[in-house]
Structure formats: C-alpha cells, structure tokens
C-alpha cells in the first residue's frame, strides 16, 4: 500500500503507521460516549471528595465500567468488520493472533 493511495492510512501494517477508518458518525458516537464517561468519572471523584456512601459510589463505578465495555464492544465490532477483514484479504493472517490478544485483554 503506497502513501499515494486514498486508503493508505487505513489499517496499515506494522511497517507503517496504523490508523482506523471510522465513519464520521461512528467517530462522533464514540467521542460522545467517552465524553459522557469522562463526566461520570469526574462525578465519582466528587462523590469520594464528599464522603458519599460507598455503595452509591460502587454503583456509579459499575455504570462507568458498563459504559466502557460498550465502547470496547463497538470498537471491536468496527475493527473486525474493517481492519481485520482487510488484513486477512491482503493475506496477513497475523491479524488473527493480534485480535485474540486484544479480545483476551477485553475479557479480563
């Protein structure tokens, strides 16, 4: 893949800079979700500063974890449908091992 190709920055191999190619809609959705999570984390910090009852803080942490898991699932889905498929089509089967390592990390 040369740098003059229109999709050269998308799912490039390890020999070049790897980048995603999310649609603007997907990127906006991910950023909105992450901004909301960031606000939730700041909220939990405030709860701790105010000595809020532990169970209430733990429930907020569970909500944050769930939101992070949702972002991870969305990213994983897009990654598999785009980057992974492209690399397999290019004959790069190493992407499967890379994906398995990532899935293991997500499942911890």
**Cα(69)–Cα(75) distance, rounded to whole angstroms?**
10
pLDDT at 39: 98
Domains recognised in the chain with CATH numbers:
24-106 (1.20.58.1000)
Tell me if the pTM is above 0.85. Answer: no
Query: How many other CB atoms sit within 10 Å of the CB of residue 77?
Result: 11
> Which of left, alpha, beta for 16 (phi over 0: left; psi -120 to 50: alpha)?
beta
Are 26 and 32 within 8 A, CB to CB? no
Q: Could you tell me the pLDDT band of residue 19, with boundaries at 50, 70 and 90?
A: confident
3-state secondary structure of 49: helix
95-103 — which CB contacts under 8 Å span 24+ positions? 102/76, 103/76
pLDDT in tens, 55-108: 999 999 999 999 999 999 999 999 999 999 999 999 999 999 999 999 999 998
State the chain's mean pLDDT as an integer: 87
């Amino acid at each position: 893949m040369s740098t003059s190709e229109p999709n050269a920055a998308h799912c490039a191999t390890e020999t070049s800079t790897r980048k995603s190619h999310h649609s603007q809609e997907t990127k906006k959705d991910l950023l909105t979700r992450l901004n909301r999570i960031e606000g939730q984390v700041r909220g939990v910090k405030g709860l701790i500063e105010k000595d809020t009852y532990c169970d209430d803080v733990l429930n907020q942490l569970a909500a944050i974890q769930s939101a992070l898991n949702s972002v991870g699932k969305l990213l994983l889905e897009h990654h598999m449908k785009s980057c992974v498929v492209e690399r397999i089509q290019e004959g790069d089967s190493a992407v499967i091992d890379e994906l398995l390592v990532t899935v293991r990390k997500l499942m911890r």
